[in-house]
Amino acid sequence: MLQLPRPNPEQLFHTPTIFGLAVSKDETRIAVATNFSGRYDAWGMDLDCPFPYRLTNEGQVPHAMHFDPQGRYVLVAFDHDGDENAQLYLIPPRGGEKHPLRTHEGRRFMFCTTSKDGNRIYYSSDKDNPTYLCGYVFDLESGEERTLYEGEDGPTVLVAVSDDESSWVTATAFANTYQIAHLHRAGERVSLTPDPGTPHIVDSVEFAGHLVVFATDYQADELYLASFDPQTGSFQRIWAPEKGSVTHVAVHKESQTAYVAVMRGVIDELYRVDLRTGSAEKLSAPFEVMGQLKVGDSGRLYLLGASDNEPGNVWMLDLDGTWRPLTRMRPMGFSPDDLVQADVVHFPSFDGLSLEALLFRPKPEIANGYTIIWPHGGPQAAERKGFRKLFQYWLLFGYQVFAPNFRGSTGYGSHFMKMVERDWGDGPRKDMIASIEWLLAQGLADRDKLFLVGGSYGGYMTLLLHGRHADYFRACVDIFGPSNLITFAQSVPDFWKPIMKQWLGDPNDPADRERLIKDSPITYLDGMTKPMLVIQGANDPRVVKAESDQIVQALREKGRDVEYIVFEDEGHGFMKLENEIEAYRRTMAFLDRHRQASAP
């Protein structure tokens, strides 16, 4: 009898995303940054009736949210239309209009924390020191700002403040794989790790009573849980997972317990670690990847958890060990079973390096035989088993999606991650080709039916693969990818510049320059013979619009088939639903057109 039509894949567009999470001191309320109503805003929820109510009506992304411990305000950091220049605002506790707290045109503020009484706000900013940043404390009572430190050597961000505000920790980055941290106390500063001169990472720093607790890969390939004792100056390894890297740490001081997220390739695991004994217990969880762990004074854990077939939601791990969902973001009309869970595949690359990739296979009854190759962004990031509405959208139209975690990806140790540094265009590109060849050899894709789509570094890789290996692909989509590594290196935000040399290379160094030219997509214009779609946000501060402009112009001058979409009110990503819908629809139309037309 009753046969309702299959859901329209476009319904996926309206799946809300949760971008951030805050928990009030008394754990009666949480706040989520979400595009629940189509545009991003801060929404509140009372835990005794977890139904969301609007806290702001700005239509902008809240980059940080923090409840005043005394309940007098909620601090929210908004940028404007994707420019990433987050400014600090206060809003009334029950929501309302934003009230400027710390703002500076064209500069950004990185909120750290407040004092325990909420009267002082701790943050970093590039407003006085565009390259290395400074840290500040702003006193709400006096209205005065005091500089805590001036960054040096590398961009230096305030990451933790002790309860009594007598000490704080800064993190200084020289590269994504080289970030050290210092404890500042009584005018002195001391490294949390014994030898800050050896490249390693310190991350997720928290004061835990008399100790400072953090994740580090100091003298190791993966990040483990460690501590620094300010009294004795001693560094100590607390606990290392058998496999994987510690990426998030949330400490419950009273019980000296840490909840620790461990990244194992494309999935995360959750552990509870006793800080005193270093013993750890693995906890099961109803999601595959997680982020933003917060522990309340009660000992309850709050986090964002997602799976490839279930959107990110706020979950609470209650004291009795049960997981309670606090939000229920879901794709309208789709159950998790209607969506695709990725296969996790492994294979050797051109040089024998073992690679992991996600293969999303459409339901057999709708498969169209075409495969979209997706090089992820970053490059020091990874494609993981989180919810990707773009992938699921493609899958519902019958496309297969293949996302290899090429060398340089996170989740496979620091050595692997470093392999992309100063080598953006050779090893990772060959990994992509080796991945495609493996997929074809397995009979999992058809050589004549490959598309290439990527964003950010993935857009760069798309352009480069197009320029150097066009024969593989029917058509390519570049979403805000750098096209010219020389101009790209010069146009990134000021405070990225110190890390560019190790990450990418220095255009002023002749040897580097030669490599950057060799690895720049724009060097291979002649090879870019396939139809291309380029998508760019006008306010993108990471990959500026000139990167897309120049490749589009150069290709059009050669008479190539290039469609170009610029969103005037977007940055590096889609934060406005109507833009996202347009980008996805036009990408689908582009793929479909080139699926049916142009025989290889």
**Count of residues near its own copies by CB under 8 A:** 45
Smallest CA-to-CA distance from 409 within 434, 428, 391 is with: 428
CA of 430: how far to CAs of 282, 352, 375, 465, 490, in Å? Answer: 37, 12, 12, 9, 26
Instruction: Give percent helix, percent strand, percent coil of the chain, each to the nearest 5.
Output: 20, 35, 45
Of 95 and 498, nearer to its own copies (C-beta) is 95
**Which of 25, 80, 104, 324 is in the footprint of its own copies by CB under 8 A?**
324
The residues near 99 (Cβ < 8 Å, ≥ 6 apart) are: 89, 90, 91
**Which of 262, 329, 355, 382 is in the footprint of its own copies by CB under 8 A?**
329
335 lies in the binding site for its own copies (CB under 8 A): yes
Judge whether 73 and 56 are in contact, CB under 8 Å: no
The residues near 578 (Cβ < 8 Å, ≥ 6 apart) are: 38
Which residue(s) pair with 53 in the sheet?
44
Judge whether 180 and 159 are in contact, CB under 8 Å: no
Window of 147-155, 201-209, 231-239, 326-334 that interacts with its own copies by CB under 8 A: 326-334
Of 73 and 78, nearer to its own copies (C-beta) is 73
Judge whether 408 and 421 are in contact, CB under 8 Å: yes
90 lies in the binding site for its own copies (CB under 8 A): yes
264 lies in the binding site for its own copies (CB under 8 A): no
- Using CB under 8 A, which residues numbered 137 to 176 contact its own copies? 140-141
Strands 18-23 and 29-34: antiparallel
**Which of 26, 28, 92, 298 is in the footprint of its own copies by CB under 8 A?**
92
Q: How far is the CB of 144 from its own copies (least distance, A)?
A: 12
Single-letter amino acid code for the residue at 67: F
517 lies in the binding site for its own copies (CB under 8 A): no
Of 52 and 537, nearer to its own copies (C-beta) is 52
242 lies in the binding site for its own copies (CB under 8 A): no
Q: For residue 557, how many C-alpha atoms fall within 13 Å in the half-sphere facing its CB?
A: 9
- Using CB under 8 A, which residues numbered 408 to 447 contact its own copies? none
**Which of 146, 328, 363, 556 is in the footprint of its own copies by CB under 8 A?**
328
**Two structure tokens written together for 374:** 């997706």
Dist. CA 118–CA 355, nearest whole Å: 47
The residues near 534 (Cβ < 8 Å, ≥ 6 apart) are: 477, 478, 479, 548, 551, 552, 562, 563, 564, 565
**Which of 332, 366, 441, 597 is in the footprint of its own copies by CB under 8 A?**
332
CA of 464: how far to CAs of 120, 303, 423, 507, 526, in Å? Answer: 48, 37, 13, 18, 12
**Which of 40, 122, 271, 334 is in the footprint of its own copies by CB under 8 A?**
334
Q: How far is the CB of 22 from its own copies (least distance, A)?
A: 17
- Using CB under 8 A, which residues numbered 101 to 120 contact its own copies? 119
Q: How far is the CB of 466 from its own copies (least distance, A)?
A: 36
280 phi-psi bin (left φ>0, alpha ψ -120 to 50, beta other):
beta
Dist. CA 305–CA 311, nearest whole Å: 8
**C-beta neighbour count of 300 within 10 angstroms:** 17
Q: How far is the CB of 246 from its own copies (least distance, A)?
A: 30
Window of 325-333, 403-411, 472-480, 545-553 that interacts with its own copies by CB under 8 A: 325-333
Of 72 and 558, nearer to its own copies (C-beta) is 72
Window of 86-94, 270-278, 466-474, 513-521 that interacts with its own copies by CB under 8 A: 86-94
**Which of 31, 61, 77, 91 is in the footprint of its own copies by CB under 8 A?**
91
Window of 106-114, 204-212, 245-253, 319-327 that interacts with its own copies by CB under 8 A: 319-327
The binding track of 38-77 with respect to its own copies, each residue x by CB under 8 A or -, is: x------xx--xxxxxxx-x--------------xx----
The binding track of 544-573 with respect to its own copies, each residue x by CB under 8 A or -, is: ------------------------------
What residue ranges bind its own copies (CB under 8 A)? Answer: 1-2, 4-5, 7-8, 11, 14, 36-38, 45-46, 49-55, 57, 72-73, 90-92, 94-97, 99, 119, 140-141, 324-330, 332-335
